[in-house]
Amino acid sequence: MIDMIEKEDAIISEEEAAQYDRQIRLWGLDAQKRLRGSRVLLVGLGGLGAEVAKNLILAGVKGLTLLDHEQVTEESRQAQFLIPVSALGQNRAKASLERAQALNPMVEVRADTDNVESKPDDFFLKFDAVCLTRCSKKLMMRVDQLCSQKNIKIFCGDVFGYHGYMFSNLGKEHHYVEEKPKVKKPAEESSDGPEPKKAKIDPNETTMVKKTASFCSLKEAFDIDWTTDKAKKSIKRTPKEYFLLQVLLKFRSDKGRDPQPANFSEDAERLLQLSEDVLQPKGLQTDVLPQDFTSFCFSEMAPVCAVVGGVLGQEIVKAISQRDAPHRNFFFFDGVNGGGVVDYFSRE
C-alpha cells in the first residue's frame, strides 16, 4: 500500500487533534494521519457490519462507504443498532447512514444501495481497504484477487449464530511498526576486569521496531490439500470453525441466504448433508465438526457480532495505520465456549 501520508495531504486540524487526542497518544500522530487519509468500503450492514462501521468511524478514517442492497427486515433491525425502529422495509445502507454519521461528523459516511455483485472491478480500486461481510465465497475470491494485485487491503467476516470469523489479506509485504521495550546495552568492561553485564530491558523506555508480514490469498487459505501427511497431522489442531465456515459458505451459495431459524429443521438437515459434500472430497471426515454443530449456527447473535466486529475493526485500523502486528490471517470465535483463536492457513 502506498503510504497514505505521502499519497494524500492528511493534515490533522486542531479540532481533529482534540477529537482523536486519546488515539494519537495511543498509536501516534503518523498512524492517525494514515487513518485520516484512508477510504474504506464496508459491504453488508447486518449486525457485524454495524459493529465494524462504528469502530472505523470512531477511529477517524477519512471516508466510509456503506454498501448494501437489501431491505430492513425485523431480524436485521434487531441485529444491529444503526437502524431506527421506524426503518422497516427501507434500504439497510440508507437506514444506517444517519446514526453512523452522527458517531463522528469528521468522517465522510455515504450509503450505496447497489448490489455488490453488480459492481465492476474498478469500483473496488477506489478504496484503501475493502471489508466484505455477508458475501458469497465467489465474490470474496474475486475481490480478494483483485485487491491483492493493487495492494489494497482486503478483509472478510461473518457471524453465524454462536460462531464468527474474520480473514485478512494484507499482501505479500505488509510493513508495520511495533513498540517494544528498549534494551540497554551494558557498559564495556576492560579485558582484565569483571565479566561484562548482560543487556537489560528498561520497562520505562520503548523503541519502534520495523517489521514485515506476508499474507496468502483467500483461495490459498481454502484450497488446503488435507491428504498430505503434514496436513493430516494438523487436523486435530485446526479450529473447527475453519471447516464449519466452508460448509456455511456453500449453504449461502446454494440457497442465496444464510440458515434461518424459521426454517430450522430443513436448514439443519441441509447443513448436515453439505458437511459431507464439502468435507469428504477434501479428504476430511465429517467428525471434524461436532455432531450438534447445526444447533449453533443460526442468525446473527449481537454479542458475537460485538466480539468479531471489534476484532475486525481493530485489524482494519492496524493495517491502515501500519501500527502493531496484524492477525495472520484468520480469527475464529466460538461463542459456545467463549474463546477466540488466530490461525494461519496456506498451501505452502
CATH number, position 161: 3.40.50.720
Say yes or no: 223 and 311 in one domain: no
The pLDDT value recorded for residue 5 is 38
Classify residue 89 by its DSSP letter.
Answer: T
Is 318 a member of any domain? yes
Between the alpha carbon of residue 227 and those of residues 177, 219, 222, 284, the distances in Å are: 38, 18, 14, 8
Residue 20 pLDDT class (50, 70, 90 cuts): confident
Q: Mark which of 259, 279, 296 sits at the end of a domain.
A: 296
What grid cell was written down for 302?
449481537
Residue with cell 495505520: 321
The pLDDT value recorded for residue 199 is 65
Say yes or no: 61 and 119 in one domain: yes
In angstroms, the CA 61 to CA 29 distance is: 13
Query: Which range is least confidently modeled, 6-10, 21-25, 107-111?
Result: 6-10
- 75 contacts: CB under 8 Å, gap ≥ 6: 299, 300
As beta bridge partners, residue 161 has 300
Q: Mark which of 213, 244, 279 sits at the end of a domain.
A: 213
Say yes or no: 180 and 167 in one domain: no
The pLDDT value recorded for residue 2 is 38
Taking a C-beta distance cutoff of 8 angstroms, is the pair 225, 231 a contact?
A: yes
For residue range 133-184, list pLDDT tens digits in order: 999 999 999 999 999 999 999 999 999 999 999 999 999 999 999 988 877 7
Say yes or no: 179 and 237 in one domain: no
The pLDDT value recorded for residue 1 is 39
In angstroms, the CA 37 to CA 27 distance is: 16
pLDDT, the chain, mean: 90
pLDDT of 206 higher than 70? yes
Say yes or no: 203 and 143 in one domain: no
For residue range 31-45, list pLDDT tens digits in order: 899 999 999 999 999
What grid cell was written down for 32?
492517525
Give the structural domain span for 309.
Answer: 4-171+301-343
Say yes or no: 262 and 320 in one domain: no
pLDDT of 107 higher than 70? yes
Is 348 a member of any domain? no
3-class SS of residue 185: coil
Average pLDDT estimate for 50-62: 96
In angstroms, the CA 225 to CA 324 distance is: 32
Q: How many CB atoms lie within 10 A of CB 274?
A: 19
Q: Mark which of 213, 240, 266 sits at the end of a domain.
A: 213
The pLDDT value recorded for residue 348 is 63
Say yes or no: 189 and 85 in one domain: no
Is 79 a member of any domain? yes
pLDDT of 185 higher than 80? no
3-class SS of residue 47: helix
Say yes or no: 19 and 160 in one domain: yes
Say yes or no: 40 and 106 in one domain: yes
Say yes or no: 137 and 76 in one domain: yes
Helical segments of 150-239, H only: 218-222, 229-234
3-class SS of residue 318: helix
Is 316 a member of any domain? yes
Say yes or no: 131 and 152 in one domain: yes
Q: How many domains, the chain? A: 3
Taking a C-beta distance cutoff of 8 angstroms, is the pair 271, 278 a contact?
A: no
Average pLDDT estimate for 239-262: 96
The pLDDT value recorded for residue 181 is 81
Say yes or no: 137 and 184 in one domain: no
The pLDDT value recorded for residue 7 is 45
**CB under 8 Å, gap of 24 or more: what pairs does 110-115 form?**
110/63, 110/64, 110/65, 110/66, 111/65, 111/66, 111/67, 111/68, 112/65, 112/66, 112/67, 112/68, 113/68, 113/69, 114/67, 114/69, 115/69
